[in-house]
């Protein structure tokens, strides 16, 4: 499957800052790609740092000024999945900053009693999708799964956090993945969950806003704290513009009951 994607970010750096971007496709995915960064018209070169599961961070010591980042990539076919280690399965069973699986244990056991395996993945996806309303701007960057469930609304990362927390509460390893999502409306960076069953990671997207088979992996981690497209350290930088595109040669139908692997 041929897919094309891009990201355009504009930041106002008001105090020298360390910036870490996660916008590039994960290791070995892109057939072609280009990333450029400029500050007040002068090009600068970020350094690439490799994180878990092929996540690529581009880190830059940014001076004061208007910063522009542009990224483009094409992807053909699918990459081989990164190996899963025993430590990964333990890590993705634990509660984390935005996925409070320990608090949601009673809810998970009550709502999904009797379900296991693939039926459990479909059940959690449908349950979260029917309990939440997708409302842009309705959540705060500090909201976790518990607050999302109480508010009954959120955006893609909130849906994914709740899915991850419920699955972990039922002893299914689960993690968050940021992706480019052809077909997504409105277009943006997208977040989905992945659950581990029978030696494979399967994508769970309770928003059902984009075909799962078209997704392109950017970053993988415990929750949004590991997968945010921008982190600012040691200074101040305000995000002014974000423009994301993602298109695929075709947009296939998607059924929540199907098992899909992110390519």
Give pLDDT tens digits for 123-135. 999 999 999 999 9
Residue 92 has a pLDDT of 97
Domains of the chain (ranges, CATH numbers):
2-78+231-245 (2.60.40.2250), 86-220 (3.10.620.30)
Give pLDDT tens digits for 167-184. 999 999 999 999 999 999
3-state DSSP assignment of residue 129: helix
The answer to whether 235 and 94 are in contact (CB under 8 A) is: no
In tens digits, the chain (263 residues) has pLDDT values of 899 999 999 999 999 999 999 999 997 677 899 999 999 999 999 999 999 888 999 999 999 999 999 999 999 887 777 778 999 999 999 999 999 999 999 999 999 999 999 999 999 999 999 999 999 989 999 999 999 999 999 999 999 999 999 999 999 999 999 999 999 999 999 999 999 999 999 999 999 999 999 999 999 999 999 999 999 999 999 999 999 999 998 898 888 888 999 87
The answer to whether 207 and 129 are in contact (CB under 8 A) is: yes
The maximal CA–CA distance of the chain, rounded, in angstroms, is: 60
- CA 26 to centroid of chain Cα atoms: 12
The answer to whether 201 and 89 are in contact (CB under 8 A) is: no
The answer to whether 25 and 218 are in contact (CB under 8 A) is: yes
């Amino acid at each position: 499957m041929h897919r094309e994607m891009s990201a355009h970010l504009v930041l106002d750096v008001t105090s020298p800052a360390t910036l870490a971007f996660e916008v590039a496709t994960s290791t070995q995915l892109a057939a072609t790609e280009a990333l450029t960064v400029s500050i007040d018209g002068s090009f600068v070169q970020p350094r690439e740092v490799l994180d878990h599961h092929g996540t690529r961070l581009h880190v830059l010591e940014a001076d004061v000024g208007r910063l522009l980042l542009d990224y483009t990539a094409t992807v053909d076919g699918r990459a081989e999945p990164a190996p899963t280690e025993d430590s990964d399965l333990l890590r993705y069973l634990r509660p984390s900053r935005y996925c409070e699986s320990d608090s949601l244990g009673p809810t998970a056991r009550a709502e999904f009693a009797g379900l296991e395996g693939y039926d459990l993945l479909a059940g959690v996806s449908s349950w979260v999708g029917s309990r939440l309303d997708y409302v842009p701007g309705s959540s705060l960057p500090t909201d976790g799964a518990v607050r999302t469930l109480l508010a009954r609304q959120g955006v893609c990362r909130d849906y994914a956090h709740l899915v991850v927390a419920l699955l972990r509460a039922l002893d299914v390893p689960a993690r968050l993945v940021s992706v480019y999502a052809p077909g997504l409306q409105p277009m943006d960076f997208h977040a989905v969950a992945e659950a581990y069953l029978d030696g494979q990671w399967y994508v769970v997207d309770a928003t059902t806003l984009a075909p799962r088979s078209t997704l392109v992996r950017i970053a993988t981690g415990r929750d949004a704290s590991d997968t945010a497209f921008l982190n600012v350290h040691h200074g101040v930088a305000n995000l002014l513009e974000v423009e994301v595109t993602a298109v695929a040669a075709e947009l296939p139908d998607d059924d929540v009951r199907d098992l899909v692997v992110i390519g």
